[in-house]
Amino acid sequence: MIEFSGVGQLRSPVVVAAFEGWNDAADASSAAVEHLENVFGARVIGAIDPDDYYDFQVNRPTVSGTDGASRKIAWPTTRLSVARPAKSDSDLVLIRGLEPNMRWRGFTDELIEAVHALGSDMVITLGALLADSPHTRPVPISGTAGDPATAARLGLEASRYEGPTGIVGVFADACSRAELASVSFWAAVPHYVANPPCPKATLALLRRVEDLLDMEIPLGELPDKAKAWERQVDELAAGDTEVAEYVRSLESREPETALPEASGDAIAREFERYLRRRGE
């Protein structure tokens, strides 16, 4: 059982979770939760005991500190933190860690118990996968809900995915079985630039969280980093004719005007976001 400290009184808490590993192409989803931790000054309230869930020969602990008295070992684990966005009626419970190596059902049981103990009834999981999508277009984000009622309430689709899954899928299923409303957002990262980071995908995930929660998320330098990332990939493609031709073939599969991001609803969301950031 996770032991908490310094939780305080939470206001209608919403859980946002991401895990490094199979679910996290280019570290895009874990970087989104890390961004939320940083911009909202999240404080750690607890962590899962790693002994039961991690193989330390696969995910090794790290040692730091040059003075013998201050040297510390940091064990790979999953941590929970809380944040209080200034312009929101809800607090955030942020879960970030590593996909466990074993005992996944026990791992998710601990997380579900923690969600109940913290008084949350909504869980948002973030993931990222490699896909045949061009870096020049907006990052595709798929959003699904864990049950038909949540899907109808939030205007999403119920998940129809069949195939191998990671801890994000297992945790989302555990939420549904525990009668917790759950939503999952996945970013499609161009597979030909799979090395982390991918700030463009991280930015796209954060904007979907922002829209869902109607919450302003300070983005800081992330939009500039996303533009710089795209320019760097442009330069890579310009110097390699095969990559350039492949990108053009991906772009030709679907005209830019046919993308979901070019729809009236998407344009309206962007305009509302612009006004919200201006305080209007």
Helix (H, G, I), strand (E, B) or coil at 84: coil
Q: Is residue 198 part of a domain?
A: yes
The pLDDT value given to residue 165: 94
Mean of per-residue pLDDT scores for the chain? 90
Tell me which amino acid residue 259 is. Answer: L
Residue 13's pLDDT band (cuts 50, 70, 90): very high
CATH of the domain at 211: 3.40.50.10900
**Residue 72: strand pairing partners:** 64
Q: Kind of pairing, strands 92-98 and 181-190?
A: unpaired
Q: What is the pLDDT of residues 157-212, one digit of tens each?
A: 888 888 999 999 999 999 999 999 999 999 999 999 999 999 999 999 999 999 99
Count Cβ atoms below 10 Å from residue 27 Cβ, excluding itself. 20
Contacts of 159 (CB under 8 A, 6+ apart): 144, 145, 146, 172, 184
Helix (H, G, I), strand (E, B) or coil at 226: helix
> SS in 3 state form for 236-272?
HHHCCHHHHHHHHHHHHHCCHHHCHHHCHHHHHHHHH
Contacts of 260 (CB under 8 A, 6+ apart): 140, 266
Phi, psi of 27 (to 5 degrees): 60, 25
Give the domain extent around 149: 14-277
Residue 278's pLDDT band (cuts 50, 70, 90): low
Closest CA to 209 of 269, 135, 279, 271: 269
> SS in 3 state form for 140-178?
CEEEEECCHHHHHHHCCEECCCCCCCCHHHHHHHHHHHC
Q: Is residue 154 part of a domain?
A: yes
Between 266 and 109, where is the model more confident?
A: 109
75-84, 152-161, 251-260: least confidently modelled range: 251-260
Q: Label residue 44 left, alpha or beta by phi (over 0 means left) and psi (-120 to 50 means alpha).
A: beta
Q: Are 211 and 269 in contact (CB under 8 A)?
A: yes
Number of domains in the chain: 1
Q: What is the pLDDT of residues 18-56, one digit of tens each?
A: 999 999 999 999 999 999 999 999 999 999 999 999 999
Which helix (DSSP H) or strand (DSSP E) does residue 92 occupy? strand 92-98
Q: Is residue 210 part of a domain?
A: yes
Q: Are 201 and 189 in contact (CB under 8 A)?
A: yes
pLDDT at residue 262 is higher than 50: no
Q: Is residue 9 part of a domain?
A: no
